[in-house]
Amino acid sequence: MTAPRAEYSYTPVGRTAYGVTPPGFRALRVRTPLGTGGAVFAAASRALLEWRMHRAMGVRVEAEAGRAAPGVRVTVGLGVGALRVSGPCRVVWAVEEERRAGWAYGTLPGHPQRGEEAFLVEQAPDGAVRLTVRAYSVPAVWWTRAAGPVLPVLQWGYALRCGQVLRRLAREGPGAPRGRP
């Protein structure tokens, strides 16, 4: 299911659902093993869909809804105090199936990047559970352009940290604390 395409700061919208990086965008793909079994999949899916992974990483999340769903506006904030960078986004697509759960958000005007980022938890037939973070983006403001080759390294580190945090949350199970609001 996808959200309306109006208002996004980039085109094309929704390509992360297919693992496609549009021409002119920088691609990112990081996979992290989370564990094995249905309980790990269920806990990881819930933590991802309810914004808990992001909050447990220290990301400020202001969302219109308690769960990711197409069309939900969300503002993410990284950093502290005057150094906090906020990025308005809208959930582009979401999926919640027997062996796949996740969502992607796309940037809105005012975000320091233009593009899309997806978070997908999948359980393989052998029971292995993994998180895949896929993104395509380009800088939208002078200071992200000035960051040059440092920015992709930071984005890769962020995606890697997503997997580490989600692995911990999945092991703690569905009754774990919800993190900061």
Structural domain count of the chain: 1
Residue range 14-50, pLDDT digits in tens = 999 999 999 999 999 999 999 999 999 999 999 999 9
CATH number assigned to the domain comprising residue 146:
3.30.530.20
Using the structure block, give the residue that is written with the tokens 């958000």.
Answer: 105
Q: Reduced to 3 states, what is the DSSP secondary structure of residue 42?
A: helix
Tokens representing residue 171 in the block? 């092991």
Q: Where are the beta strands (DSSP E) in 1-158?
A: 26-36, 60-63, 73-78, 85-96, 100-107, 113-123, 128-139
Exposure string of 67-90, with b = 16+ CB inside 10 Å and e = fewer, is ebbbebbbbbebeeeeeeeebbbb
Confidence tier at 86 by pLDDT (50, 70, 90): confident
Using the structure block, give the residue that is written with the tokens 């233009």.
Answer: 114
The Cα–Cα gap between 68 and 48 comes to 8
Residue 74 lies in a domain: yes
Residue 7 lies in a domain: no
Per-residue confidence (pLDDT) for residue 174, from 0 to 100: 62
Q: What is the pTM of this model?
A: 0.90
Q: What is the pLDDT of the chain when averaged over all its residues?
A: 90
Residue 137 lies in a domain: yes
pLDDT at 149 over 90: no
For 57, which DSSP code? T
Residue 129 lies in a domain: yes
Per-residue confidence (pLDDT) for residue 143, from 0 to 100: 84
